[in-house]
Amino acid sequence: MAFKASYEINCSCGNRFEADLCEYIFTAYDSDLKDALLTGDFNWLSCPSCKEHFPVETRFLYRDEENMLWVWVCKRGEENRADELYEELMNKNIHFKDHFLDDKANYRKFLVFGRDALIELLLKEDKELKKTEGRSLKKNNAQRLILEEYEEPGLFLLNGEKVKIAIPLKLPNKNQHQLQDLEARKRWLKYYSQGLNIHNPYSSFLNSRLKAKWDKSRQKEPLNGFKDEFEDFAHSWASNKTDPKAFKKLCPERRQFFDKLKEIAIPRKLYSINPRSLRTE
């Protein structure tokens, strides 16, 4: 039932080539494609010229009859067009012109942006995935990859039984913090990843009571530039660890919340990956 369309692909080497990308997944028939989504192998291509292997992002429809899910997955960065895209994709069916779209009215409909947002949704709405992957994501070890010699800070990595997630690590806003040297940068990123290990959209260790307290602290002491609660948590955790006196003065409510978090156990271990081990000659 999978539907593919031809796209012109521009490789970083300058080569242009035609390739088929999947635009429709019906999980009742396309279990292999669902697995590819979970593992991160979906819509990967190889350049015929330089042989580079890379993922290509495009819009696609994810249809799950068992859980009655009808999900349009759009590109990351298209969030500012959410209302327009919902009208186009959900209401007008422009993309497929009604092909494969029978019984649409009976499904629960969602619009998300990017593979990671789809997985976040599935871990809430797919009953079997929530049971199996939700448990393993909290149990299996997490990893952090800090790229000391590169502009990009690195990644926080989660592994379930099938699901694989890579969350970008982020450096602090230059107006709020000044990282004096490489060691200060590395220290910040270690604490930032600790925050993500506690509270992220795929495997948070905050229960409903703690979540409510965190939301209350955010409302009382909002920090500029943080709409995402998980990024806000990781940033605040790192700020508190790297400069506790300044953080307590700026955000006493948040500091009090973090002090109480010492009472909860985080069963998932967080290990570092040596970036040198990833180098290839």
Other CB atoms within a 10 A radius of the CB of residue 158 amount to 25
Same structural domain, 151 and 262? yes
Radius of gyration of the chain (CA): 21
Greatest alpha-carbon span in the chain: 60
Tokens 């099938």, residue located:
162
Q: Could you tell me if residue 266 is inside a domain?
A: yes
- Taking the C-alpha atoms of residue 273 and residue 251, their distance in angstroms, rounded to an integer, is 32
Other CB atoms within a 10 A radius of the CB of residue 103 amount to 10
Q: Could you tell me if residue 133 is inside a domain?
A: no
Other CB atoms within a 10 A radius of the CB of residue 119 amount to 24
- Taking the C-alpha atoms of residue 277 and residue 274, their distance in angstroms, rounded to an integer, is 6
Same structural domain, 149 and 227? yes
Record the pTM: 0.83
> Which amino acid belongs to residue 197?
N
Domain of 151, in residue numbers = 142-278
One digit per residue, pLDDT tens: the chain, 281 residues? 568 888 999 988 889 999 999 988 999 888 899 999 999 889 999 999 998 888 888 899 999 999 999 999 999 889 999 999 988 888 776 566 555 666 777 899 999 999 999 999 999 999 999 988 988 999 999 999 998 777 789 999 999 999 999 999 999 876 555 677 888 899 999 999 999 999 999 999 999 999 999 999 999 999 887 888 999 999 999 999 999 999 999 999 999 999 999 888 898 999 999 876 554 43
User: How many structural domains is the chain composed of?
Assistant: 2
